[in-house]
Amino acid sequence: MLVSLADLRCVLFLFLHQCCDSRYDPTLVFNADPGEIFTIRNVANVVPPFVKNEDKKAETAHHGTCAAIEYAVKSLKVEAIVVLGHAQCGGCAHALSLFSPPAAATTTTSNEEEEKNNNNSSDDGSGYVDAWCGLIKESVKHVCAEYDKDERLRQLEHENVRRSVENVKTFPFVQERIAKGELKVRGGFFTIFSGGLSMMDEETKAFKRVKDIELSEEKAPPPAADAAAGVAADAAPAGKEEANPADPPQSAGTNKRQKRK
Ligand SMILES: [Zn+2]
């Protein structure tokens, strides 16, 4: 039997990052069933900021992602939005290559510049990725000003989630449901190498490793929205940044399969 969209009380995961290049399955990460999570993917899990009506026809309106957010919040009545970044993000790496200051960017020769200009003059239809990554240009500038080259990619992956969470909150229909206590917006980060999930602390904006998001055998599975929102409450104590690739796998998906045996 098909379930109508109105019956779906989905959690909206803005896998604006599964960035199309993240490899994990959100239903396994968050211990959800098929259909419980409404997912959006785009390059680098970027949430564009809200634009006013008169600007919606502009090229910068980025209708696809914004339309999906509006649909999820207003029609599906999702109870939680999670912007989930991931390690080794190709979108963030590309943004770094595009917008790093000259001193940190790869030095190009005059011949390379000439070749680049020639390529630009013959329009092959590309340029969408570069234009999209322009949405995180300010984040690139920030991490380049604050961190050494080796740290910038991970810091950008985190900063991108922080700014996307803030951008979600710029939409009036999001603000309205937050004010009513009907919607929560959270940031998260997943490292597939270790199966490690981190959630962003709302106060400090730091990412804290979730030690155990498994539900106990005795505890009845809550609605998916509660499970997602509750991840932050299960996070490890402050002060420990996540992402130790040497950590043993501890994905919720593994726990879920064990639970259902
Ligand atoms: Zn990515």
pLDDT tens for the 261 residues of the chain, in order: 333 334 434 455 444 445 777 777 887 887 777 877 888 889 988 898 888 766 556 655 557 888 889 999 999 888 889 899 999 999 999 999 999 987 644 555 555 555 555 555 678 888 989 999 999 999 999 999 999 999 999 999 999 999 999 999 999 999 999 999 999 999 999 988 887 889 999 999 999 988 644 433 334 444 444 444 444 333 333 333 444 433 333 344 334 434 333
105 CA distance to ligand 1 middle (Å): 20
164 CA distance to ligand 1 middle (Å): 14
71 CA distance to ligand 1 middle (Å): 23
215 phi/psi in degrees, rounded to 5:
-85, 145
- The pLDDT assigned to 176 comes to 97
Question: Helix 152-168 to helix 90-99 angle, to the nearest 10 degrees?
Answer: 100
Q: What is the pLDDT of residues 190-225, one digit of tens each?
A: 988 887 889 999 999 999 988 644 433 334 444 444
Number of domains in the chain: 1
In a domain, 2, yes or no: no
Locate 104 and state its tokens. Answer: 């940190």
In a domain, 140, yes or no: yes
In a domain, 182, yes or no: yes
93 CA distance to ligand 1 middle (Å): 8
Q: What radius of gyration, in Å, describes the C-alpha atoms of the chain?
A: 19
Q: State the residue range of the domain holding 166.
A: 7-259
CB 11 within 8 A of CB 228: yes
Task: Give 202's contacts (C-beta < 8 A, 6+ positions apart).
Answer: 186, 232
44 CA distance to ligand 1 middle (Å): 5
38 CA distance to ligand 1 middle (Å): 18
In a domain, 14, yes or no: yes
- The pLDDT assigned to 9 comes to 44
In a domain, 173, yes or no: yes
CB 25 within 8 A of CB 253: yes
176 CA distance to ligand 1 middle (Å): 30
118 phi/psi in degrees, rounded to 5:
-65, -40
Q: What is the pLDDT of residues 84-115, one digit of tens each?
A: 999 999 999 999 999 998 764 455 555 555 55
In the 8-state DSSP scheme, what is residue 34?
Answer: T
Q: pTM to 2 decimals?
A: 0.71
- The pLDDT assigned to 240 comes to 38
Neighbours of ion ligand 1 (CB under 5 A): 19, 21, 89, 91
45 CA distance to ligand 1 middle (Å): 7
Helix or strand or coil: residue 80?
strand
In a domain, 123, yes or no: yes
86 CA distance to ligand 1 middle (Å): 6
In a domain, 1, yes or no: no
In a domain, 201, yes or no: yes
- Put residue 77 in one of left, alpha, beta given phi > 0 → left and psi -120 to 50 → alpha: left
- The pLDDT assigned to 97 comes to 95
Instruction: Assign residue 123 the CATH number of its domain.
Output: 3.40.1050.10
